[in-house]
Amino acid sequence: MHQRGRPREVAYTFKSPRAEELCLDGAGPGRGGASGLVPLPSSAPPAPAARPAGVRPERASELGLSLGGSDSAMASLPPLLCLCVAAAHLVGARGTTPIEEPTATAWGLEDPLLGLGQSSPVLEDWEEASEWTSWFNVDHPGGDGDFESLAAIRFYYGPARVCPRPLALEARTTDWALPSTVGERVHLNPTRGFWCLNREQPRGRRCSNYHVRFRCPLEASWGAWGPWGPCSGSCGPGRRLRRRRCSSSAGNTCPGRPLEAQKCVRPRCPGCSPNMCGCPNHVLLGSVVTPSGRPLPGARVSLRDWPGPVATSDAHGSFQMSGVCAGSRANVSAQMDGFSAGMAQAQANSSMSAVVTIVLDKLEKPYLLKHPESRVREAGQNVTFCCKASGTPTPKKYSWFHNGTLLNRQEYRYGAHLELRGLRPDQAGTYHCKAWNDAGAVRSGIARLTVLAPGQPACNPRPLEHLIKLPDDCGQPGSGPAYLDVGLCPGTLCPSPVGSSTRCGDAGSRCCSVRRLESREIHCSTYVLPVKVVAECGCQKCLPPRGLVRGRVVAADSGEPLRFAQILLGREPIGFTSYQGDFTIEVLPSTQRLVVTFVDPSGEFMDTVRVLPFDPRGAGVYHEVKAMRKKAPIILDAGQSNTLPLGELEEELPLGELVLPPGVFRRADGEPYAGPVEARVTFVDPRDLTSAAAAPSDLRFVDSDGELAPLRTYGMFAVDLRAAGSAEQLQTGPVSVRVAAGQIRMAGHMEALKLWSLNPDTGLWEEESGFQREESAASRVRREERVFLVGNVEIRERRLFNLDVPERRRCFVKVRAYANDKFVPSEQVEGVVVTLVNLEPAPGFSANPRAWGRFDSSVTGPNGACLPAFCDAERPDAYTALVTATLGGEELEPAPSRPRPLPATVGVSQPYLDKLGYRRTDHDDPALKRNGFHINLAKPRSGDPAEGNGPVYPWRSLRACQEAPVNASHFRFARVEADKYEYNVVPFREGAPASWTGDLLAWWPNPQEFRACFLKVKIQGPQEYMVRSHNAGGSHPRTQGQLYGLRDARSVRDPQRPGTSAACVEFKCSGMLFDQRQVDRTLVTIMPQGSCRRVAVNGLLRDYLTRHPPPAPTDDPAAFAMLAPLDPLGHNYGVYTVTDQSPRLAKEIAIGRCFDGSSDGFSREMKADAGTAVTFQCREPSASRPSLFQRLLESPATALGDIRREMSEVAQAQAQGVVGPLRTRRGRAWQ
């Protein structure tokens, strides 16, 4: 049986056309006599056929595979198939010379019943639970062949897309043919990938373009914990262990550990016995150090069970104890403020001495790795909530709260897990945990438990209302756009089938989703529009949510991409940015803060730490990350005192300075460094508004209650110290940070200012020191009599610092995004990144002279987004903010404010709107960009009904903000690129991947992988034109002629070419339909609206379509039709294809490339001449031509005759089954 730990590499020698003749043709000369079959030479031993990985022996025998290579096994094959296999093997072997010896036998079996697009049957019958990944294609054939290496796939698609140890690999051409169908020799190895070599192919043939997928085991789960083992040790504190087993055949695939430890206590040990402390001539020598080896002076050292400290480490971290017996193996502990306690066992190094080294870790506050997740259960079932925290030391104490009330530890016997058995209705509500260690506490997010009464349905079968907009010509004339209720299932959780699992995760999670669709028809002006609506909801298996974050890292000053930067998730490297600076990160379920660090390999840029907002429901989010370039190095003399300024704005004094006394530099091991020092201090100055985009982290810390709280910054700085002429990083002892007191004017801030350092693992700021007031030295009086606040810090492992004040005056601001400036509630846009920057207060208010104080970002969901901000109840203009929104690379526009803001447009009622002072960025100057708005952050007054309905909510009213109805006050953004329309026959909300429904007519056939395709259409004409793509089944027998959907896009003018515009029009990609059985080449028809005619088609695209029949009908000069290619062609063909786990991200990236006219670029400025597929020439109808109304008045008989003739042509086309859109008289393409 094949072992998963050692996947095999197989060289597949498939039969060539010549081998087919040998097996299937009749007898002929040289073909083995009358039988027409070639017998195996008697001298050739039979080649044993290798059983594919994971296939049961009985399944292999059904398929006719020889497992042992014996004559009897070979005889079990059908005679005709046996000889066909042998002949194919001989023919393939005769014409090829492998460049390396395969590790498994070459085999040439092809199932004669295998249809195009079907999975190979030998790869479908698996002994363990597993599934196929999506398809990958990173290489196009050329040079030596086609190569799809697993390393390259993980690099470009992200390491999380393929499991660590794939079971098998399947390859198909991009035309979905098996290698056997095209007669090519290929190599497959699940741990290495796929390759096809041109020199191994039959004469005159080259490798096709392949894509591959991998078979991965389903995530295994742990069984129940076993009993606790005995307590270790003979006396005193000890520990005991218990174990659990993984349900998978490979236990290391289960997340977590198979062992769990618990403290236990045996009878008290005797004190320091004569065997340990009774050796007067013996000595114990020790040292106390950090994990990096830096000595720790002043540590208090003690012996186990000996009262009080018995020694203190000196300036070198060393200590000694007399009288400790060399062979006693004494347990020695050390403690020091700011560090966790450590213990080590002494080891004898001579007959009269022993040595010990105690390592102390710096205290770190707890940080939650796993938050409890919401659950639905029926009364009487069980539920388990899980919480896991890290920190130094590792948190051991957990507390659980129900509806804010502490649960009794003795009654519930909880730790990191809270298990509730035999649930009652009164146990429904909210749950959260707290974790403690010596440094503090941390509070988890809220999980909701719903307890259903017996027989109570968890899912209402009646769908909710969900309106979609119909095409313009499907509504009543003059009545505006028409909408249709297609139904919506809420996606809420259902009880798991068993419901009594004690595990943290619900492997069989179910949601209230679509159970049944119904087909309807909408009668439009000249055609019938098909649609499928939700008829019934029910509890179905949930699609696993896959939060996805994509983006690009660029330099903040120049916009150049940060190429091949290492990406760290916490401390774990997960990949690199691409040549263009792009990255993709898959967010694990239950993640609440996504902390990512980008490390520049060249060292020119600061390590960029970001907390990236994401959509936990699975929708993709795009971010552009700005990296700050390090300042030019300054050479310092380590023997002298050095002062480095903090802040270098023109015509502004520095905000402070960093003072490094002489002899302060140290190497990583604590040894002094006396040579020249290259110092770079990069300051993020909040007085410069543009610096907010490059500021690290999200300015949050964990307060004394364990909750995340915001900070208001006075500046951040990164320190890079290296030995001159080398890459060796240096550290320092205590250095001074001096902040000019004149820069801090807000009441109470001078006393509250603290120095913080960033924990790159958590993205949270941790306090380093406070500040004390100090008058300037006499030598500084000549400058300006400045007063300084002084704080101290040691520059060690952490290099990023912050001058911040914790702020208690906090609120939330409600923002929604819409598809257009009509602000229709049913057309809200999800996945928009909304950013709020707290600005300098209004003139005249006694506050800080800064452009910004903090920033926050959030992602819109189905009910908008709530952004934290500082606010004030006394003075409305005490705090102000700038709010912006982006979707991919697109900037959204807020509601206008000129000449004065209107409540119905802005979304905020009066008189609160005037109090908030809403102003769009172009309010005072129409020439400015309209990409944001300014507001006063006036905290709502308690009891005032005019201010109790949003858009600003008190800090403790987050839930009210999140659940506010759409008619409550809120601020609004609208997409600028709203001149587009999308219609799917099978409804799907791209912002909620769980709304996907399996149907042959689904636009997106695979909910785990979304492939977006766009065609670039160039238009020569005096204005911008709407261009429609009509997408119908083309080659699949069950969908041929049936509509998948419509797409409209308005062309965009090329600023460099008057009279020229271009449109990036989406079409449905060809490929497998949702059942993964057979491909369909979509019949795509492109039609501009207006008097247009096709004048040119991309030559490469035309040649490709000619080589891949059948051709689509192209007799209409006002349209362009094609059977969409299966290959992801590229900009040279005018076709742009992007595959992603998020449909929105795939489309945004493809549109950016289409605008740019390249296969790897990104632009929002249309380049009409670059990378186009088809060109139309459009003109406005002549003013002298009479309208239809005039013709009816002047010559009714002629006009009616023309109408009858056109209707007859349409009816004849429908009767003949002609597939394609219908047209109105003026060439306007609808459907």
The string of pLDDT tens digits covering residues 755-811 is 998 888 888 888 888 888 876 544 444 444 567 778 888 887 777 888 888 877 789
- The answer to whether the CB of 360 falls within 8 A of the CB of 339 is yes
Q: What confidence score (pLDDT) does residue 848 get?
A: 44
Phi/psi of residue 831, each to 5°? 85, 10
Place of tokens 């050390």: 334
Q: What confidence score (pLDDT) does residue 919 get?
A: 92
Going by C-alpha positions, the residue among 280, 288, 439 that lies closest to residue 360 is 288
Which residues, listed in sequence order, are joined to residue 700 by a DSSP beta bridge? Answer: 710
Helices (H) and strands (E) in the chain, counts: 16, 79
Distance between CA atoms of residues 736 and 797, nearest Å: 17
Q: What confidence score (pLDDT) does residue 883 get?
A: 93
Q: For residue 1204, with 0-12 CB atoms within 10 Å meaning exposed, 13-18 middle and 19 or more buried, which class applies? A: exposed
Q: What confidence score (pLDDT) does residue 849 get?
A: 45
Q: What angle do CA 920, 925, 930 make, to 5 degrees?
A: 40
Q: What confidence score (pLDDT) does residue 68 get?
A: 36
Distance between CA atoms of residues 1225 and 1220, nearest Å: 16
Q: What is the mean pLDDT of each run of 10 residues along the chain (1231 residues)?
A: 41 39 34 30 35 36 33 38 37 36 31 34 52 79 83 78 87 84 89 90 85 82 79 71 70 65 69 62 90 87 77 90 84 89 88 90 87 88 89 90 92 90 91 91 90 88 88 68 85 72 62 89 84 90 76 89 88 84 80 87 88 77 88 90 86 86 87 90 85 82 84 88 88 89 79 88 86 63 61 80 82 92 86 85 49 82 89 80 85 90 91 90 87 89 85 89 92 80 86 77 83 93 90 90 91 87 93 83 90 91 87 82 88 88 82 87 84 90 57 66 65 50 40 37
Q: What confidence score (pLDDT) does residue 79 get?
A: 39
Q: What is the pLDDT of residues 538-551, one digit of tens each?
A: 988 877 666 778 88
Q: What confidence score (pLDDT) does residue 1194 get?
A: 64
Q: What confidence score (pLDDT) does residue 944 get?
A: 84
Q: What b-and-e string marks burial along 512-538, b requiring 16 or more CB atoms within 10 Å of the CB? A: bbbbebeeeeeebebbebebbbbbebb
Q: What confidence score (pLDDT) does residue 1082 get?
A: 92
Distance between CA atoms of residues 883 and 890, nearest Å: 15
Strand order through the sheet with 582-587: 582-587, 547-555, 620-627
Q: What is the 3-state secondary structure (H, E, C) of 465-519?
A: CCEEECCHHHCCCCCCCCEEECCECCCCEECCCCCCCCCCCCCCCEEEEEEEEEE
Q: Is the dihedral of CA 495, 497, 503, 504 positive or negative?
A: negative
Q: What confidence score (pLDDT) does residue 94 get?
A: 35
Q: What confidence score (pLDDT) does residue 751 get?
A: 86
Q: What confidence score (pLDDT) does residue 943 get?
A: 81
